[in-house]
């Protein structure tokens, strides 16, 4: 339930469940996780200066 609590405290957030993703990050979850997060980051940092090169 940790993710539910975190999402509840972030204004404008949307909880997205990624099946199989738990406490240990595995390579298979990189694409779905980045797919959920990068559009948000790009919308707020259009010049990309603050984004890590992935």
pTM, two decimal places: 0.44
Domain ranges of the chain: 2-44
What's residue 50's pLDDT? 59
CB 40, CB 46: distance < 8 Å? no
Q: For the segment 9-28, what is each residue's pLDDT rounded down to a tens digit?
A: 888 888 877 777 777 777 88
Q: Output 16 or 38, whichever has higher pLDDT.
A: 38
CB 33, CB 21: distance < 8 Å? yes
3-state DSSP assignment of residue 24 = coil
What's residue 46's pLDDT? 64
Please list, in sequence order, all residues whose beta carbon lies within 8 angstroms of the beta carbon of residue 19, skipping any fewer than 6 positions away: none
What's residue 12's pLDDT? 82
Which of 8, 41, 3, 44 minimizes the C-alpha distance to 22? Answer: 3
């Amino acid at each position: 339930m940790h993710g539910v609590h975190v999402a509840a405290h972030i204004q404008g957030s949307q909880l997205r469940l990624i099946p199989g993703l738990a406490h240990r990050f595995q390579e298979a979850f990189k694409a779905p996780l980045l797919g959920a997060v990068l559009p948000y980051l790009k919308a707020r940092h259009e010049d990309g200066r603050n984004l890590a090169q992935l």
